[in-house]
Amino acid sequence: MSAASKPKLPADDYISLMLFYQAYAETIDNGDLNGWPALFTVDCVYKIQSRENFDRKLPLATMAFESQGMLKDRVYCIRETLYYEPYLQRHVVAAPVVTSVDGDTVHAHASYAVFRTKPDDITHVYNVGRYEDTLVKSPESHHGWLLKSRICVFDSDLILNSMIYPI
Amino acid sequence: MSAASKPKLPADDYISLMLFYQAYAETIDNGDLNGWPALFTVDCVYKIQSRENFDRKLPLATMAFESQGMLKDRVYCIRETLYYEPYLQRHVVAAPVVTSVDGDTVHAHASYAVFRTKPDDITHVYNVGRYEDTLVKSPESHHGWLLKSRICVFDSDLILNSMIYPI
Amino acid sequence: MSAASKPKLPADDYISLMLFYQAYAETIDNGDLNGWPALFTVDCVYKIQSRENFDRKLPLATMAFESQGMLKDRVYCIRETLYYEPYLQRHVVAAPVVTSVDGDTVHAHASYAVFRTKPDDITHVYNVGRYEDTLVKSPESHHGWLLKSRICVFDSDLILNSMIYPI
């Protein structure tokens, strides 16, 4: 077999990145809300935005946070002030595609499907789309990576009931 | 780029583990029921349990088998004694996360979504959850790994009709 | 830990193959119809076939194309002559399983789930199944690989409305 096209990341780094994507999903699916902001840098961006608005560069987003502090505020809000019916989420996240590497900074994206289960109900497709991400390698992070920016670009303009937890 | 955080498995081992997860899914999806027990050790545990019961450490499980022989018995039961409407399953299994390695024994988990298709019907989301696994490296196994324990922890308490095949 | 069972591809090659599967999905999901034929060899085969027909080796297929030219023709057809309601697709594709390697030719398959979103509607499970593929390593291709043959073997005989875009 001829030589492979040069990979954007060494195999070990790519696998660790892929596992970070799974760790992120797992943190949310396990309901570990306090663990969620810890996956981001202090100066992070996090948005959940419909594909229609993302593609047209329109600013409207379902959620838009511009620092780790705002993520922590959202967690506080979910835990202490919002009134809602709880539900379970299950992410199935595909292998991330690295588009560029600049020092310790990586641009990548990955398709996801999130399934939602309410108490005493069957499981529904809740939100599908792709993560558009900027990540930084971070040896002090438990998972080796932190999100500098994550935009969850989802396909449907309609959201089943309300969206409480992060995607 | 700085050194990657040390991976829990060498790249080749991780990839072979990831492929074992796909091989498991494929065995079931292809209806190769006889091939299913061969993916386990002789003294295996296999359970399908709701997340609610798993998290509370309650014993009730939808299926619970405690040896490869019991898995073979289940297969015999499906093939010869159960009366049911057949259906197709399709697993989409995410990359497994290795939590610890002890010699040839690996603890890992992975999120899955299983879709079910009945004859002359559309495809439905059937069962989503995560595999909580203990695996052993086994050079004599065709796939390089065997399951010592697999608990399928699923999100919904409701099961669409009956559950016949393994997850 | 004992030596891993010998992998069918070196780690870097496997990862590049896995990323090709994601690149294929992304090309379709992004609506990049002109990019789709470029993922195939000139003398390619592309089919979308129900599992029932595939397993029985029956010829009937939902789509069946026998050259890159026919794929381009399909794209022209979608863009210029078909009358249909547009929809968005989202693929979640599992890690591909390599079954054999012969020089630069690889046989592999992978499970997929495709979700469809129509304007002003929620997301539905649209088509689940597996890709049965023959790929060739191609250094001149942007992604390092080209499809010589792809058969999308889907589980349900029923298709939600019509099928316009490739799977």
Binary contact (B156, A122; C-beta < 8 A): yes
Q: What is the DSSP letter of B58?
A: -
pLDDT digits (tens, 9 = 90+) for B46-60: 999 999 999 999 999
**Token pair recorded at residue A38:** 């810890």
C-alpha atoms less than 13 angstroms from C-alpha of C7 in its C-beta half-sphere? 20
ipTM field: 0.94
Say yes or no: B79 contacts chain C, CB-CB below 8 A. no
Distance CA B147, CA B65 (A): 13
| Cβ-based neighbours of B145, under 8 Å, separated by 6 or more | B16, B17, B20, B106, B135, B136, B137, B138
- Averaged in consecutive runs of 10 residues, what is the pLDDT profile of chain C (167 residues)? 68 97 98 97 97 94 96 96 93 97 97 95 96 95 94 88 90
Distance CA B75, CA B158 (A): 23
pLDDT digits (tens, 9 = 90+) for A79-120: 999 989 999 999 999 999 999 999 999 999 999 999 999 998
What part of B 12-71 touches A (C-beta under 8 Å)?
Answer: 14-15, 51
Q: Which domains, from first to last, does chain B contain?
A: 11-154 (3.10.450.50)
Report pLDDT for C142: 85
Where does chain A show beta strands of DSSP type E?
A: 40-50, 63-65, 88-93, 97-102, 105-117, 123-137, 145-154
A5 falls in which pLDDT band (50, 70, 90)? low
Q: Which of B5, B125, B130 sits opposite A16 (nearest CB)?
A: B5
Q: Which of C4, C51, C160 sits opposite B144 (nearest CB)?
A: C4
pLDDT digits (tens, 9 = 90+) for B67-88: 999 999 999 999 999 989 999 9
Name the pTM for this structure: 0.95
The DSSP bridge pattern shows strands A145-154 and A40-50 to be: parallel
